[in-house]
Amino acid sequence: VAWIKRMFGLSKAGHGGTLDPKVTGVLPVALEEGTKVIGLVVHTGKEYMCVMQLHRPVPEEELRRAINMFVGEIYQRPPLRSSVKRSLRLKKIYEIELLEYNGRYALMRVFSEAGTYMRKLCHDIGLILGVGAHMRELRRTRSGPFRERNGLVRLQELSEAIYRWKQEGKEDLLRKYILPIEYAVSHLPKIVVRDTAVDAIAHGANLAVPGIARLHEGIKRGDLVALL
């Protein structure tokens, strides 16, 4: 984030969810006014590709049985090397898929609630199996609406895009890499407001039915929505 601020000469930038040291993958970074909505991305689901190393081999069926025990709500205490208080927390794991296993290493795809530690998940699976295990490698492939497969940008590519814009006046790469702020709320249900109601809402008025042009079905009281 500090590098990106320096590259663009920005006053504000913020990221959507910390990546531990040596972990690679998706890290959404918001620029200037975009920092106001990055909190919505921080608290969305995350998907990981995780390599777990077992300290002793176990049969694959036994491993699958242990992994399945961690799908759903689990108790988790953050590891020693973490940026949060080490208190017991309730977290939700939506899916764990065992992709490959060779007796020593297990490659897993994990989709979980924000703030779930994969390092601790591997350790706890090792405890259940009775052989011990640790996280060998981790890559985040999804953070809320941002996915690795649609447009992961490296810092080097961003630097080259800025150079191209400044030296050649071409902004095509910057437009490809920097997404509109609306993308950060693409996972939320939407309410589209009529032009005539925008000014009143911007000044604190409540939104009434005549001011709505269209909206998603199934929005309930207390839901978080995007107003467009």
pLDDT at 198: 93
Distance in angstroms (rounded) separating the CA atoms of residues 29 and 183: 12
- Residue 134: CATH number of its domain: 3.30.70.3190
Q: Which two tokens stand for residue 144?
A: 């809320």
Strand positions, DSSP E, 113-227 = 133-143, 146-147, 190-193, 212-215, 226-227
Burial tier of 96 (Cβ tally within 10 Å: 0-12, 13-18, 19+):
buried
Write down the mean pLDDT value for the chain: 93
Q: Specify whether 129 is located in the same domain as 198.
A: no
Q: Is 172 a catalytic residue?
A: no
Q: Specify whether 53 is located in the same domain as 102.
A: yes
Q: Specify whether 120 is located in the same domain as 155.
A: no
Query: Is pLDDT of 30 > 90?
Result: yes
* 98-155 tens-digit pLDDT: 999 998 999 999 999 998 999 999 999 999 999 999 999 999 999 989 999 887 899 9
The catalytic position among 20, 172, 199, 223 is: 20
- For residue 221, the enclosing domain spans 188-227
* 71-102 tens-digit pLDDT: 999 999 887 777 677 788 999 999 999 999 99
Q: Say how many domains are in the chain.
A: 3
SS3 (DSSP) at 51: strand
pTM, whole model, 2 decimals?
0.86
- Residue 30: CATH number of its domain: 3.30.2350.10
In total, the chain counts a number of residues equal to 228
Q: Specify whether 89 is located in the same domain as 152.
A: no
Q: Specify whether 110 is located in the same domain as 167.
A: no
Helix and strand numbers (H, E) in the chain are 7, 12
CB 194 within 8 A of CB 208: no
